[in-house]
Amino acid sequence: MPSTRLLPLEPRRGIEELHKLGYEQVEVNYASFVYTGLDYPSYPNMLRLALLHALRLGIKVPVIHGPWEEYFLLRLGRGVDAAVSEALLVAEIAASYGVDVIVLHPFSRRRLGSGRAWWLNKMFFSLLAEKLEAEGIEARIAVENTNKAEPWNMVETVRELVAAVSSPRVGLCLDFGHAGVNGYSPGDAYRAATNPLCLHVHDNNGVTDEHLVPGCGSLDWESLHAVNVAAGPEYAVVEVDCRAALGPCRTRLRVAYEASRIALARFLQ
């Protein structure tokens, strides 16, 4: 499915444009809020309005990319429970509009310190999973491998974190672009992830997280042909950046979407 990240528009307008292009389901991405100047306190209400707008247009939003690490840091300063409460609010809003999966970045070593990164992330995601279950919120969390935020730039480390949380409410979102910057081919990244819940699909030059159309960077998409696929991921999101004029972005969106379908053909049958 395409992401609202692809278009240089406020999320509701981005959803409208994707609707005009004929897409029946989309991912609502936090980047759309950030790139159009939204302040942190406004995010929950603006997310609600975006999801309501999609509902009125008849567009399904099975996945959202939740706030980035920085959004939760102030809450985390008041304790892990405060950060979990904020994430739970986002999940409650999303689930009330039919969202199934919320993608989140783990907190990095640089933000927390080397000694705290593992146990605090495990605590955060474990508590969040428990709260989702206890309050009957029908949403799951997908922890994404990061670009340069150690130690979560390694796919294996994120997989181990998800395994340590050990909850059906928490899975892994494999970002091929982030993996590529860290030396993985798409095939190697998929094998390292084992059974990802969702995929983020974009390309780059192997050095910078450019969010290019698949095939326009240096990632070896043919490496996916050697992957033994028992069961594919539930969701695949096209996460190409296009912050130019809207006209060129529309064309790039179609190319990105079709290129992603070709690259992931074995996974999406």
Domain boundaries, the chain: 57-263
Spatial distance between the Cα atoms of 87 and 139, rounded to a whole number of angstroms? 12
Query: Tokens for 31?
Result: 């980047």
Distance set, CA 108 to CA 32, 60, 75, 176, 214 (Å): 22, 32, 15, 19, 27
Neighbours of 70 (CB within 10 A): 11
pLDDT tens readout for residues 38-92: 888 899 999 999 999 999 999 999 999 999 999 998 888 899 999 999 999 999 9
Q: Which CATH class is domain 57-263?
A: alpha beta
The 10s digit of each residue's pLDDT in 95-146 is 999 999 999 999 999 988 888 999 999 999 999 999 999 999 999 999 999 9
Read out DSSP for 60-101? Answer: EEEEEE---HHHHHHHHTT-HHHHHHHHHHHHHHHHHTT--E
Report the candidate in 10, 12, 24 with the shortest Cα–Cα distance to residue 257. 24
Counting every residue written for the chain, the total comes to 269
Residue 249: pLDDT band with limits 50, 70, 90: confident
HSE toward the beta carbon, residue 103, CA cutoff 13 A? 27
Confidence of residue 258 (pLDDT cuts 50, 70, 90): confident
